[in-house]
Amino acid sequence: MISNLIKRKIFTLLKVQYSNMLEYRVEIALWAISGIIPFFMLNIWTNNNLNESINISDIMLSRYFLCAFFVRQFSVVWVVFSFEEDSLMGKVSPYLIQPLNPFFRYFAQHLAEQITRFPFALIIAFFFFIFNPESIWIPNLGILILSIVSTFLSFLIQFLIQSIVACLCFWTEKASSIERLLFIPTLFLSGLLAPVVSFPKYVKSWIYLTPFPYLIDFPANLLSGNETNIVGGLSMQILWILLLFPLFKKIWSEGTKKYTAMGS
Amino acid sequence: MILRKYLKVYKKFLHTSFASELEYKTNILVDLITAILSLVGSIFLLSIFFQNSGYIGGWKFEQALIIQAIYTILNGITNTWFNPNLTEIVKHIREGTLDFVLLKPIDSQFFISLKKINPSGFLEIMLGFLLLFFCVRINQIDLNLIFLTLSLITISCSICILYSLWFFISTTTIWFVKTWNAIEVLRSFLYIGRFPLNSFSFSLRIFFSVFIPIAFITTIPSEVFLGYSVLWKIVLEVIVATVFLITSRKFWLFALKFYTSASS
Instruction: Give the tens place of pLDDT for each residue, A70-125.
Output: 999 999 998 998 898 888 877 888 888 887 888 888 999 899 989 888 999 999 99
pLDDT at B60 over 50: yes
- Nearest neighbour of B178 by CB, restricted to A27, A35, A177: A27
User: What is the pLDDT confidence band of residue A262, given thresholds at 50, 70 and 90?
Assistant: low
Quote the CA–CA distance of A247 and A250 in Å, as a whole number: 5
Q: Does B139 have pLDDT greater than 50? A: yes
Report the gap between the CA of B156 and the closest CA in chain A (Å): 27
Question: Which of B181, B189, B206, B208 is most worth mutating to test chain A (most A CB atoms within 10 A of its CB)?
Answer: B181
DSSP state of A49: T
pLDDT at A264 over 60: no
Name the β-bridge partners of B59.
Answer: B56
Residues 6+ apart with CB under 8 A from B204: A40, A43
> Do B44 and A188 lie within an 8 Å CB cutoff?
yes
Cβ contact, residue pair A177, B31, below 8 Å: yes
B25 interfaces chain A, CB cutoff of 8 Å? no
Q: How far is A178 from chain B (nearest CA, A)?
A: 7
Mean pLDDT for chain A?
88
Q: Give burial (CB, 10 Å; 0-12/13-18/19+) of A62.
A: buried
Q: What is the pTM of this model?
A: 0.89
Name which of B26, B45, B52 is nearest A194 (Cβ-Cβ): B45
Chain B residues in contact with A49 (beta carbon < 8 A): 53
Three-state SS at B56: strand
Under a CB-based contact definition with an 8 Å cutoff, are residues B221 and B241 in contact?
Answer: no
Please list every residue in chain B whose beta carbon sits closer than 8 Å to the beta carbon of residue A187. Answer: 41
Nearest to A193 among B37, B45, B51 (CB): B45
Tell if the CB–CB gap between B56 and A48 is shorter than 8 Å.
Answer: yes
A142 confidence band (pLDDT: 50, 70, 90): very high
Q: Are A84 and A168 in contact (CB under 8 A)?
A: no
User: Is the pLDDT reported for residue A49 higher than 90?
Assistant: no
Instruction: Report residue A230 CA to chain centroid gap.
Output: 19
Please judge whether B51 and A40 are an interchain contact, meaning their C-beta atoms are less than 8 angstroms apart.
no
The pLDDT of residue A2 is 66
DSSP β-bridge partners for residue A78: none
Lowest-confidence range among A62-66, A207-211, A250-254, B25-29?
Answer: B25-29
Q: Does residue B40 surpass a pLDDT of 50?
A: yes
Q: To the nearest whole percent, how much of chain A has pLDDT over 70? A: 97
pLDDT tens digit sequence for A200-230: 989 989 999 999 999 999 999 999 988 888 9
Nearest-by-CA chain B residue for A26: B181
